[in-house]
Amino acid sequence: MIREAALVLSDGEVFEGEAIGAEPAGGITSGEVVFNTVLTGYQEVITDPSYAGQIITFTYPHIGNYGVAPADHESRRPFCRGVIVREMARRRSNWRSTDDLESFLVAQGIAGLAGVDTRRLTTHIRDSGAMPGAFGTAAESDLRTAAAAEPGTDGVDLVATVTRPESEHFTSTRDDGRPPYRVVALDFGLKATIVHHLRTISHVEVVPASTSAADVLAREPDGVFLSNGPGDPDAVAGAVDTITGLLGEVPIFGICLGHQLLASALGGETYKLPFGHHGGNHPVRNLATGAVEITSQNHNFCVADSSIPGADITHINLNDHTVEGLRCRDLPAFSVQYHPEAGPGPHDSRYLFAQFDELMAGLHPTVAGPSQGQLLGGSTNA
């Protein structure tokens, strides 16, 4: 049975559709509305903790055609507020799938909206910026009230809602004959695919975001990883103090929110982008080599260029020239804004995990980046 529903943005724009997924309390779901441009990988996107507090609009018109598979979850459950699509697939076709996408949304308590003109919605967000909104089967007046009351992600510590409550250990899968390192990963919203790649070089202990620098160092790690995560880096309680206490004590590698927090610990500044970077096709230039990598990205905030004392910018986004990577000059620490692990997305940048390996070995990591053969799809695939 079709359940008529609508999305109302905080600026008053209305988009009609039909309800899918779980039925929220009161018939209303609210959050910050963003769009993602991936063609595949919808399950990984929905289960990425970095979407906490947000409603995901998929720009690709047909979503759900290959179902869902447990092995593709990026976290223990979805943390996004909802999902908006043009058309939800009626059938799934994939030998790996165990369920269809809509049943998964229902089981996970995630509401959705289908039949939406996602091209118009995406264009509106690009023109006006990501903004709060509310969707559901409730009356339009109630949706307007909910959209106006939704705070969005600015100034909200969303990391506290997604981090693990206690530490968790993962055994290394290293198979090159070298002993694995010991890495402590601060969980600001850590994706499973990142853990997979860290395990190829080290044993990994994932610890809650609130873990102090002293507690991290007491574990005697060979390196510390700063994970991705949701929301405003300035709102993450205690993170900058922890990273400040780790700098110079142990090699550090950060991704996404971890990159922003490392920059903040170094004295840099962050700001919110108009509609963020969410997709699997962002071109990034490696400034050391001039090579262009196609990258997976998911962030609303960014590091201000020329604001990071003691560090050099290593990568830039070719769409808007924002900062995509940095490396400390005198300390063993580096980070990138994008997602080299992909999940979903291209594999051009997975060489960065090898650079972390070199940093923990006490070597100066190579800055050459991937070869042209790797960029064309060769040995970067795990």
For 183-187, 354-358, 376-380, which range has the lowest pLDDT when averaged over its residues? 376-380
Q: Which amino acid is at 176?
A: D
pLDDT at 377: 34
302 noted as active-site residue: no
The type of residue at 73 is H
pLDDT band at 310 (very low <50, low <70, confident <90, very high): confident
Is there a contact between 380 and 351 (Cβ–Cβ < 8 Å)? yes
Sign of CA dihedral 268, 273, 278, 280: negative
pLDDT at 378: 33
Is pLDDT of 367 > 80? no
Report the pLDDT value the prediction gives residue 374, as an integer from 0 to 100: 40
Measured CA to CA in angstroms, residue 165 lies from 109, 161, 206, 258 at distances of 21, 10, 10, 19
Question: What was the pLDDT predicted at 1?
Answer: 73
Give the span between the Cα atoms of 11 and 14, in whole angstroms. Answer: 9
Confidence of residue 305 (pLDDT cuts 50, 70, 90): confident
Which tokens belong to 234?
Answer: 């300035």
DSSP 8-class letter at 196: H
Q: How far separated are the first and last CA of the chain, in Å rounded?
A: 43
Do residues 315 and 327 make contact, with C-beta atoms less than 8 angstroms apart? Answer: no
Question: For residue range 160-170, what is the model confidence (pLDDT) as tens digits?
Answer: 999 999 999 99
**Single-letter residue type at 104:** F
87 is catalytic: no
**Does residue 73 carry a catalytic annotation?**
no
- pLDDT, the chain, mean: 94
pLDDT over 70 (residue 214): yes
Q: What percent of the chain has pLDDT over 70?
A: 95
Task: Give 42-90 pLDDT, tens digit per residue.
Answer: 999 999 999 999 999 999 999 999 999 999 999 999 999 999 999 999 8
Report the alpha-carbon distance of residue 229 to residue 163 in Å, rounded.
9
Distance of CA 354 to the CA centre of its chain: 21
From the candidates 73, 150, 197, 256, give the one annotated as an active-site residue.
256
Which strands, in side-by-side order, build the sheet including 292-303?
Answer: 168-170, 202-208, 181-187, 223-226, 252-255, 333-336, 323-328, 311-317, 270-286, 292-303
Chain segment 324-364, per-residue pLDDT in tens: 999 999 999 999 999 999 999 999 999 999 999 999 998 65
Total residue length of the chain: 382
Q: Both tokens of residue 211? A: 């873990």
Grade residue 369 by pLDDT with cuts at 50, 70 and 90: low
Q: In this structure, is the dihedral angle defined by the CA atoms of residues 123, 138, 132 and 189, taken in order, positive or negative?
A: negative
Percent of the chain with pLDDT over 90: 92
Neighbours of 272 (CB within 10 A): 17
* Marked catalytic residue, from 124, 299, 315, 339: 339
